[in-house]
Structure 1
């Protein structure tokens, strides 16, 4: 419970400080995650609050994404979903192939490079957690990979918000770009939120198509590992991203029920919108508290460089595609 309250406090501070002129541009989500990262580096990780912090960074994030479905018209999902699915497949293929190519050239740690490749291409820490048992990664490699993804994704997310005013694209295209190229769902929300609700909705839709592709990717990796190890008996559990279905259900309710069959006061819709932002800020806080810069040492240097260069090229290529 203490960890949840702690992330709640950081989220409140992030939303409050984001009202200042200097910080208004990057928004409350970025401010919240910056506060959390700085706290972790200065005071360390509050171990006694670990359970609540992890709950905020994982469970509350998914609740917020589900709630955001109310703001996204379902007809947009049907119109844009298939095209984005193809682009998302390209993103994953590009990220994994390029990262592993760089890793081979630089003789980087294979397991960590693959974890970072999948995390970059699909959905950050969630993807790393899903493929870690399939790749037989040890806890240290998994933890370091999650930390790197959180750190690099945070830098890129904030960098996107800085570039937003000077990019020669409209807000919706910017949302697509964010959703197709950034690492975590939280990073996508961080980058897209300053561009407005429509941009954020498109960004989350693009990102969720990448999340959906985690399932076939995991099965491909299972088959590949079986062939590599020659062990046909080996099995791996793949968890379906159920919050994706919740997002679609809420989109249906927002599109065809609220305001059409059921009258809902605007104040109630505004309250849900604020709650969604607040939950996202809490998730950012939990994510930021998990970033430990001291653990990024010599073992991670080459995989980090491979993943970092891939992330830069992925941003350029996906922007060019749009």
Structure 2
């Protein structure tokens, strides 16, 4: 322990830890302005920067309390605020057909990912996180499910990094493939929204096809986001069922109360904001930006836990399984449009 460590009190160490995630999150936004990185986006850029920092300088254990606060507490706040992006009426009204198809998408992604994980003898938790991220909404879905299955921060960080990378590759592939496909722009938008990983990936792929295609793509994607709620409670059920087989001394899972916050925010956005209470659009946009930035800070905290040596030994098989599932999902959804 150095002299500087002794001089710092716990609160100062906590503040510095949170500050590290804040600075690296801001750096992610600047990195995303560079050619190439703009396709990955701020969140993906920030987690890549955090992973590189970990490999070069190691994990800053002195400030772990603040880093853990960002990766766990801020992560839950970001998920709760993410609920404000959902308008349940629009999805249930105009997107009911998409909702049914999205159910098939999520079931295919999760079940096929777990099936391949068993076949490849891949890590279960990592495979489940990648399956949920592929089927639902990338990093946000992974962040919501990780506490339920008590995933390690390292596994969560690896999953988010893989989703950012593979999702970007697939988005670019969609853009390059679109002129060769015999489908309308609107159908292309639906295909993008039902199959791509992150909201940002959907927007990236669908935008070249026009505003109507982009709107349809986002509607299809938001249906998948809505289904994150029942999916999480299904996973809660299976986790608790599994725990009944464990010895009484085993640690029991905590109920994911932050999901209720997600639901409440969705209901507020659907039935209160704009109808009972007027909130300027600029304020809503700022809240969106805040949720994205908090999620980026959380991803930095997770990225700092990632060891590339473990990625090589632990994540290769889940990565291969995820690529296969993503290809299969693209084919399945193309046949569904």
TM-score (norm. length: structure 1): 0.70
The 8 Å contact of residues 95 and 219 in structure 2, kept in 1 or not, is answered as: no
The 8 Å contact of residues 30 and 158 in structure 1, kept in 2 or not, is answered as: no
The 8 Å contact of residues 10 and 35 in structure 1, kept in 2 or not, is answered as: yes
Q: Which residue of 2 aligns with 1:159?
A: 169
The 8 Å contact of residues 114 and 131 in structure 2, kept in 1 or not, is answered as: no
Q: Does 1:215 align with 2:230?
A: no
The 8 Å contact of residues 154 and 306 in structure 2, kept in 1 or not, is answered as: no
Q: 73, 77, 90: which one pairs with 1:59?
A: 73
Question: CA 1:82–1:309 in 2, change beyond 3 Å: closer, same or farther?
Answer: same
Q: Does 1:264 align with 2:279?
A: yes
Which runs of no fewer than 5 residues in structure 1 stay unpaired? Answer: 133-138, 183-187
Question: Per-residue deviation at 1:93?
Answer: 4.3
**What is the alpha-carbon distance in structure 2 between the residues aligned to residue 302 and residue 267 of structure 1?**
44
Q: Which residue of 2 aligns with 1:2?
A: 16
Matches within 5 A, 1:70-81: 70-79=84-93
Matches within 5 A, 1:83-232: 87=101, 90-91=104-105, 93-95=107-109, 97-103=111-117, 105-106=119-120, 108=121, 112=123, 114-122=124-132, 123-124=141-142, 127=145, 129-131=147-149, 145-146=155-156, 148-163=158-173, 165-166=175-176, 168=178, 170-171=188-189, 173-178=191-196, 182=197, 188-192=198-202, 194=204, 203=221, 205-220=223-238, 223=241
**What is the alpha-carbon distance in structure 2 between the residues aligned to residue 76 and residue 167 of structure 1?**
30
**What is the alpha-carbon distance in structure 2 between the residues aligned to residue 245 and residue 9 of structure 1?**
30
Question: Per-residue deviation at 1:4?
Answer: 2.0
Q: Which residue of 2 aligns with 1:135?
A: none
Question: Per-residue deviation at 1:75?
Answer: 0.9
**What is the alpha-carbon distance in structure 2 between the residues aligned to residue 96 and residue 192 of structure 1?**
19
Which runs of no fewer than 5 residues in structure 2 stay unpaired? Answer: 1-14, 133-140, 179-186, 208-213
Question: Counterpart of 1:291 in 2: which secondary structure?
Answer: coil
Query: Which structure has the bigger radius of gyration?
Result: 2
- Paired positions, count: 299
**Cα deviation code 1:286-318 (max 9, x no counterpart):** 333333211134466545544543344345434
Q: Does 1:291 align with 2:306?
A: yes
Question: Per-residue deviation at 1:244?
Answer: 3.7
**Cα deviation code 1:160-183 (max 9, x no counterpart):** 4434533645556533433xxx4x
Q: Pairwise CA RMSD of aligned residues?
A: 4.0
Q: Which moved more, 1:6-15 or 1:245-254?
A: 245-254
**Cα deviation code 1:191-233 (max 9, x no counterpart):** 346468965675355134135323224434654686xx6x798
Question: Counterpart of 1:28 in 2: which secondary structure?
Answer: helix
**Cα deviation code 1:10-58 (max 9, x no counterpart):** 2222223434565444432333233223222322222233333333234
Q: Does 1:273 align with 2:288?
A: yes
